[in-house]
Amino acid sequence: MTDSDPGLSPLPDAQSQARAARQRFFAISLFRISGALILVFGVAIAQQHFGWVRGEKARIMGMIVVAVGFIQMMVIPRMLLRAFRTPSASLPPAPTSDQP
């Protein structure tokens, strides 16, 4: 085994970084789309478009499903963005101004 084994490289190359970025973007987009679908499903439940739930139970259940869809569409992607953020140690230092 040699030291130039690409599988053991400590720093990923540009191609693997681009592939990882595409996968992250796909995951975040999938959460947003599925959240929107869950939200629409919750609205349909709240408006009693299904025969298996009616009355006040339909409104309560629909609002719960809408809340879950909203969280999955708005909150979870932001949490994923924060988790996927590049560590600040690998970024160049921010310029500082020496003006008082």
Domain boundaries, the chain: 31-85
Per the listing, tokens 């719960």 go with 64
Per the listing, tokens 């959240």 go with 35
**CA 60 to each of CA 10, 19, 42, 46, 47: distance values in angstroms, whole numbers, following the listed order:** 52, 42, 10, 7, 11
- Say what percent of the chain tops pLDDT 70: 75
pLDDT tens-digit map of 85-97: 776 655 566 667 6
Task: Report pTM.
Answer: 0.66
Task: Determine whether 85 is exposed, middle or buried from the number of CB atoms within 10 Å of its CB (0-12, 13-18, 19+).
Answer: exposed
pLDDT tens-digit map of 32-57: 999 999 999 999 999 888 777 788 88
